[in-house]
Amino acid sequence: MKLTVNGESHEVAAGTLAALLAELDYEGGWLATALNGEVVPARERDGCVLAEGDRIEILAPMKGG
Amino acid sequence: MLELYGQQVSSRLLLGTALYPSPAIMAEAIKASGADIVTVSLRRETSGGKTGGQFWSLIQSLGVRVLPNTAGCHSIKEAVTTARMAREVFGTNWIKLEVIGNHDTLQPDVFGLVDAAKILAAEGFEVFPYTTDDLVVAGRLVDAGCKVLMPWCAPIGSARGPQNPDALRSLRGHFPDVPLIVDAGIGRPSHAATVMELGYDAVLLNTAVAKAGDPVAMAAAFGKAVRAGRQAFGAGLLEPRDMAVPSTPVIGMAAFS
């Protein structure tokens, strides 16, 4: 399945957002995720089913002013 | 003591965490400043979530409160979504709301800002809006549910200092009970002292410390300037006068001629 993750195209096997994070080696309780522009809380990632062409954002704490 | 959304804050200097020469210098600068609130952001994570994790661990080790921002967002949708994601990651309802309206000046889109503030306040966010010094916009933000206002004093990163002290004074006068924090445009400690002397409740800055020759020393200097300005405001400042007024007694002068 082809997805766009943080603006880059990825071919993945994962069927859920939780599985995608594991497949792409993302780990840590400080990550925030969004699917097609809508926030997906951490507790809902297991049940968040992905579809061809979905756009996923994976964000983390960063320096800021 | 300063209170922001019901939280007591000991330092009136809020510091950003960007642009430092290294994470270690950032940490030392935060300590030297005495700040107990620092701003942070959310950005795309690469390398399996480790960069953000390291930064977040460092911030947590400093024992400071975080104020997440929506920096770089140009639309209401972007800002609101970023705020929701920040709440989940940082575990706070506080959000420094930025809706940028112009690429060159980085000035806020105040129309989008008011609309975004309404949406977020309704969702239980405690909004710290980055706004201009416009009095009417400030009123709309208060109506939208903002209990803190953060007007700029000059464009972000410009180091120009207070460009329109009269507007800042007017805001202070019209909103005596709303905590006012000058956010953006401060270049040197004397700028920070100046706005504190006007009765502002706090100052938020980043670049002036982070890009200083010695960020740790500059952080300490800003901490002192903010305290000095606040103390001076409380002490009652002498108003400027048109004519000279001698300070040494004129009675008792010797006569030599």
pLDDT in tens, B233-254: 999 999 999 999 989 998 999 9
Q: Among this protein's residues, is B96 annotated catalytic?
A: yes
pLDDT at A29 (0 to 100)? 87
Residues 32-61 of A with CB under 8 A from B: 32-34, 37-39, 41-42, 57-61
Q: Is A5 in CB contact (< 8 Å) with chain B?
A: no
pLDDT of residue B44: 93
pLDDT of residue B47: 62
122-181 in chain B: CB under 8 A from chain A:
156
Q: Is A24 on the interface with B (CB under 8 A)?
A: yes
What is the Cα–Cα distance from B13 to B204, expressed in whole angstroms?
6
Q: Tell me which chain B residues have a C-beta less than 8 angstroms from the C-beta of A38.
A: 81
Q: pTM for the complete prediction? A: 0.93
Kindly report the three-state secondary structure assignment for every residue of B104-149.
CCCCECHHHHHHHHHHHHHCCCEEEEEECCCHHHHHHHHHCCCCCE
Domain CATH for B199: 3.20.20.70
The answer to whether residues B151 and B204 touch, using CB atoms and an 8 Å cutoff, is: no
| Residue A30: CATH number of its domain | 3.10.20.30
Domains: count for chain B: 1
Confidence of residue B88 (pLDDT cuts 50, 70, 90): very high
Has residue A31 been placed in a domain? Answer: yes
Chain B residue with Cα closest to A57: B44
Give the pLDDT score at B206: 97
CA torsion sign, B67 to B72 to B76 to B81?
negative
B254 domain residue, yes or no: no
Of A57, A58, A65, which is closest to B18 when you measure between CB atoms?
Answer: A65
pLDDT value for B41: 97
Mean pLDDT of chain B: 96
B17-31 average pLDDT score? 97
The DSSP symbol for B239 reads P
Does residue B257 have a pLDDT over 90? no
A30 touches chain B (CB under 8 A): yes
Whether A65 is in a domain gets the answer no
A64 is a domain residue = no
Low-confidence ranges of chain A (pLDDT < 50): none
- Quick check: B24 contacting A, CB < 8 Å? no
In sequence order, the 6+-apart residues with CB closer than 8 A to the CB of B25 are: B215, B216
Within 8 A of A41 by CB-CB distance, chain B residues are: 88
Q: What is the mean predicted confidence (pLDDT) over B67-87? A: 96
pLDDT tens readout for residues B204-215 = 999 999 999 999
Per-residue pLDDT band for B46 (boundaries 50, 70, 90) equals confident
Q: Do residues B197 and B232 touch, judged by C-beta distance below 8 A?
A: yes
Q: How many domains does chain A have?
A: 1
Q: Note whether ipTM > 0.90 here.
A: yes
Question: Is residue B252 one of the residues assigned to a domain?
Answer: no
Domain annotation covers residue B257: no
Q: In this complex, do B42 and A60 lie within 8 Å of one another by their Cβ atoms?
A: yes
B59: confidence class by pLDDT, cuts 50, 70, 90: very high
Query: Under an 8 A CB cutoff, do A28 and B49 touch?
Result: yes
A42 occurs within a structural domain: yes
* Each residue's pLDDT tens digit, B140-197: 999 999 999 999 999 999 999 999 999 999 999 999 999 999 999 999 999 999 999 9
Q: B216 falls in which pLDDT band (50, 70, 90)?
A: very high
pLDDT in the model for residue B49: 61
- Which residue in B99, B104, B156 sits closest to B129, CA to CA? B99
- Domain of B173 in residue numbering reads as 2-235
Residue B120 to residue B127: CA distance in whole angstroms: 7
**Section B117-129 average pLDDT:** 98
Interface test with A, best of B75, B89, B181 (most A CBs within 10 A): B89
Question: Distance between CA A11 and CA A7 in Å, rounded?
Answer: 13
A57 and B44 within 8 Å at the Cβ level: the answer is yes
Summarize the annotated binding site of B for 1-deoxy-D-xylulose 5-phosphate as residue ranges: 157, 184-185, 206-207
pLDDT over threshold 90, residue B81: yes
Evaluate if residue B69 carries a pLDDT over 70. Answer: yes
Judged by CB atoms closer than 8 Å, whether chains meet at A60 and B206 is answered as no
Q: Which residue range(s) make up the domain with A35?
A: 2-59
